[in-house]
Amino acid sequence: MTTIYTVLLYLIQPLIWLRLWLRGRKAPAYRKRWAERYGFCEGKVKPDGILLHSVSVGETLAAVPLVRALRHRYPTLPITVTTMTPTGSERAQSAFGKDVHHVYLPYDLPGAIHRFLDTTSPKLVIIMETELWPNIIKALHDRKIPLVIANARLSERSAAGYKKLGKFMRQLLQRITLIAAQNQEDGERFVSLGLKRSHLTVTGSLKFDISVTPELAARAITLRSQWAPRRPVWIATSTHEGEESIILAAHRKLLARFPNLLLILVPRHPERFADARDMTQKGNFSYILRSSGEIPSGSTQVVIGDTMGELMLLYGIADLAFVGGSLVERGGHNPLEPAAHAIPVLMGPHTFNFKDICSKLQQADGLITVTDADSLDKEIGNLLTDDDYRRYHGRHAVEVLHQNQGALQRLLQLLEPHLPPRNH
């Protein structure tokens, strides 16, 4: 089975190059650093450290508290963070700067993987969420390098797909040192696929272990006083195709009742920045781009967030937040980032990527569900009209965050046996 998979992966490489090249038309970063995708990373990493892989933006954000904690506990141990996408790469570089090394994780081809591991020779590999690459897993197992899947999740749909692989899947899971699952449900799915129960721990979700640092809070207060000292602000983030038009339609309705309302619109992917700008322009809204560095005037109705790595800051200047990927069937993005700022969180009905987190928020009145421009207009109108109602929803959102923290400490304890002794 591994041989068939590997041969197919080699055969489709020209299609992968074509896809990277085509995506590069809108996002030029896809046309760069191809050598890293084949394991050539000499001079870009330091060996004998920790290797952490987070495929894209969401996983990279969840990894931020973990990487910071590892840096604090093991200050002399080099850390390399790998991603697969340019947006994940930009997020990693803006979050960690020079504190960690960063390269793309190579494709799961034996030659590329061995070249990569020869250069990095990690003491421990941590993969965020669920990236199960057979050749990487086999190479780590053969080299006796411990592999931990952290913050692991496995949806019912994915588990059903993996089940069809039978023995191959069982063999793959038995080569993993430890799976630290987000909840019992996810953990049981891994066991049903062949993971030994002794190799499973339920730690909770790392996504709850975020916090607003004093520096970030101070920057947000300064930016709010510059942008909107005396006007209400709402933010719509991580939007996908089909959502910006709904957001702008709701904003149009809201402006009739709240003429000085400011919207911050942040598309999920950089290649959508231009589309969001064109839609805003066509809608005859007065707008500015965040990247311009301009300060919104009293007549600015929309700020388009076309920069990377500023989401937590921008949440900090808003009175309430809509989190995208949820009005269209993308499964939603992380509602805990706005919750950390104690502001009300609104999402569409499609939240399967954050099923557990969203149900916790919903049960505690920390999440409001909307379905279209009309319900968005209605709910935001209620929140802007009634300060107590708005504070109530924001307070309940942040309480859910605080009540579910602790996964980070549990995970750090599990990693300790696989790392050199700490200097206390």
Residue-wise pLDDT tens digits, 126-179? 999 988 999 999 999 999 999 999 999 998 889 999 999 989 999 999 999 999
**Best-predicted range by mean pLDDT among 57-61, 158-162, 187-191?**
187-191
Q: Give pTM, 2 decimals.
A: 0.84
CB atoms within 10 A of CB 180: 22
Name the DSSP letter for residue 420. P
Cβ contact 101:78 at 8 Å:
yes
The candidate with the shortest Cα–Cα distance to 105, out of 76, 128, 123, is: 128
* Environment class of 351 (CB within 10 Å of its CB; exposed 0-12, middle 13-18, buried 19+): buried
Which phi and psi angles does 45 have, rounded to 5°? -135, 165
Told to judge if 59 belongs to the known catalytic residues of this protein, a careful annotator would answer yes
Quick: pLDDT tens for 286-336: 999 999 999 999 999 999 999 988 999 999 999 999 999 999 999 999 999
Q: Which helix (H) or strand (E) element contains residue 6?
A: helix 2-11
CB pairs under 8 A, 24+ apart, for 135-143?
135/2, 135/6, 135/108, 135/109, 135/110, 136/105, 136/108, 137/172, 137/175, 137/176, 138/2, 138/175, 139/110, 139/113, 139/114, 140/175, 141/175, 143/117
Given 36, 59, 337, 379, the catalytic residue: 59
For residue range 251-299, list pLDDT tens digits in order: 999 999 999 999 999 999 888 999 999 999 999 999 999 999 999 999 9
- Residue 423's pLDDT is what? 66
- C-alpha torsion angle, residues 294, 300, 304, 306 (rounded to 10): -10
